[in-house]
Amino acid sequence: MHRKLLTSMMFILLVFGLASAHASRFSYSSMNSKPLVVCTTTVLSSIVVDLAGDLVSVDVISSPAVCPAHYDVRPSDVEAFRDADLILAHGFEPWVDDLKEASGSKAPIVRIKGAWNSPKALKEIYTKVSEALRDNLGIDVSDRLNRSLKSIDSLESWLKEVSKENSFEGKPVVCMLFQKGFVSSLGFKIVAVYGPPEKVSAKQYEAIIRNATDHHAILVIDNVQSGTDLGKKIASEIGAVEVALTNFPQTAPNLNNMTRVMEWNVQKIVDALKNAELMGEVSSLKGQIEIWRTSTIATLIGAVLEAIIIVVLLMRMKRRS
């Protein structure tokens, strides 16, 4: 009798739970008529907001402070996938398919592949996102896309002006792989590149140091999301300035999209170059002081020797007389 009662209670709870879940999903759909676009990163979510922020709801999975490839999923991420009408990913996130399976989501996954941290690459990503919104949700954002592309063109022109004003062209730098596209677009001469720190071998590290030293690299340009310890170590060893850039929006105040990110990053580079120039001046001054000190010591030694020689000669002359 007791077992039958327990079984009946579990059945009631199960039915009640399913009914509550159905009611919750129905309530969500009723209260929010906008389609939900779930994005794996703030890069994609910021683009969706720029193109269709008032037409869709947007949810983002991974924190902009960490590399998406190393992100640890949470139970709330399963719920986000379950509720999604469209899922946007880059294609390198290892956890997307697992979340899709665990959530039972019927939403299409569109993988927006390609780099995004140079103006040219960013324009391609905006275009791909607009196509995903059109093809999967029937939302036409062509007018907003054109405005966004023009804004990126303006950014590119501004970056070229900054590059010219600060003489970026040809200056030797060491660069983290995930910032290479952006740094190259500014005109820097990249003399050594390093990948994620956990994948850099001792042999690769030696080659980086050798190339950086041979070409007199003045900056080591790091990627915040990949960690900065390795970049700081390289900079310390070669006597350069380390500067860490971000690859994702929302890692600092007002970094709402990649346009703002690039503006922020280039200002960090400008500041780092000023520090590098100051370091160079200090180093040069130290060198001059050392030369002066060596010269002074040599002069004093010469004067002492000359005085000794004169004294010796005078003593000999006295003996002869």
Domain boundary pick from 153, 176, 205: 153
At residue 96, the pLDDT reads 97
Domain identity same for 136 and 234: no
At residue 308, the pLDDT reads 78
Domain identity same for 187 and 273: yes
At residue 62's C-alpha, the angle toward residues 56 and 68, to 5°, is 125
Domain boundary pick from 153, 181, 204: 153
User: Model confidence over 176-207: pLDDT tens digits?
Assistant: 999 999 999 999 999 999 999 999 999 999 99
Domain identity same for 138 and 217: no
**Residue 70 covered by a domain:** yes
Q: CATH code at 39?
A: 3.40.50.1980
Domain identity same for 175 and 269: yes
Domain identity same for 134 and 36: yes
Domain identity same for 144 and 187: no
Domain identity same for 149 and 213: no
Tell me how many domains the chain contains.
2
At residue 110, the pLDDT reads 99
Domain identity same for 206 and 274: yes
At residue 1, the pLDDT reads 42
For residue 134, pLDDT beyond 90: yes
Domain identity same for 42 and 131: yes
pLDDT average, residue stretch 110-114: 98
For residue 283, pLDDT beyond 70: no
**Residue 21 covered by a domain:** no
**Residue 27 covered by a domain:** no
Give CA–CA dist 66/247, Å, rounded. Answer: 10
At residue 290, the pLDDT reads 59
Q: β-pairing, 86-89 with 189-194?
A: unpaired
Domain identity same for 123 and 173: no
**Residue 90 covered by a domain:** yes
Domain boundary pick from 92, 124, 153: 153
At residue 279, the pLDDT reads 77
Domain identity same for 134 and 77: yes
Among the ranges given (81-85, 266-270, 311-315), the one the predictor scored with the smallest mean pLDDT: 311-315
* Percent above pLDDT 70 for the chain: 80
User: Model confidence over 249-279: pLDDT tens digits?
Assistant: 999 999 999 999 999 999 999 999 999 988 7
For residue 86, pLDDT beyond 90: yes
Q: Which residues contact 197 (CB under 8 A, 6 or more apart)?
A: 226, 227, 229, 230
**Residue 7 covered by a domain:** no
Which residue range(s) make up the domain with 74? 32-153
Domain identity same for 39 and 148: yes
